[in-house]
Amino acid sequence: MSIYGDYIKSVIRTVPDWPQPGVNFRDITPLLQNSAAFRKLIDSFVHRYQEMDLDAIAAIDARGFIVGAPLAYELGCSFVPVRKKGKLPFKTISETYTLEYGEAEVELHSDAFREGDRILVVDDLIATGGTMLAAAKLITRSGGLVVETSTIVDLPDLGGAQRIRDAGYGVFAVCSFTEDE
């Protein structure tokens, strides 16, 4: 939990049974609409990472971009998009991961950063952890050093953060929601 974690959590909306019955969707749009809350959100990440000597923020398509771009701007490091399959025009490397039904793929440009660069991977939310873990593996495979993986929201009951930690990557979440809240 971060310095503003409780406050950030209070401005995230839960939409029950969306996009399908049984899912509690954690909707960050009220947080984004609230300029004071959005500033505190970005400040939470800046506070954690300003002394970590990062070279790049690798942000995951699409909601990860919302955090990744202002963070890269504030920290004065580069912004690297990790995109869903078929969106990047240059030479790519890709990582396939399993969804509840079927598979998905994320891609990275082969020249996105230099060997040994210190990279933070960011997204808005960790559920099963499949997306974040695939992105972290991509960075590692391309020679980057994943300093940490970072998210606004963790859903610990789904075990994603633990899965990412078990794979050897650190996880930071500004706030978390259990299934019953």
Ligand X SMILES: O=P(O)(O)OC[C@H]1O[C@H](OP(=O)(O)OP(=O)(O)O)[C@H](O)[C@@H]1O
126 touching ligand ADE, by CB under 6 A: no
Q: How far is the CB of 29 from ligand ADE (least distance, A)?
A: 11
Q: How far is the CB of 24 from ligand ADE (least distance, A)?
A: 6
DSSP assignment of 94-122 equals: EEEEE-SSSEEEEEEETTSS-TT-EEEEE
123 touching ligand X, by CB under 6 A: yes
* Residue 15 binding result from ligand ADE, ligand X, none, given CB thresholds of 5 to 8 Å by partner type: none
Report the C-alpha gap between 104 and 7 in whole angstroms: 33
Q: Return the sign of the alpha-carbon dihedral for residues 112, 116, 120, 123.
A: positive
Residue nearest to ligand ADE (CB): 127
24 touching ligand X, by CB under 6 A: no
71 touching ligand X, by CB under 6 A: no
174 touching ligand ADE, by CB under 6 A: no
**CA dist list (Å): 180 to 9, 35, 156:** 14, 28, 12
Residue tagged 């809350």 (tokens) = 37
81 touching ligand X, by CB under 6 A: no
Bond into 19 cis (ω within 30): yes
Q: Which of residues 127 and 136 has its CB atom nearest to ligand ADE in the complex?
A: 127
Q: Which residues of the chain form contacts with ligand X (CB under 6 A)? A: 60-63, 123-132, 160
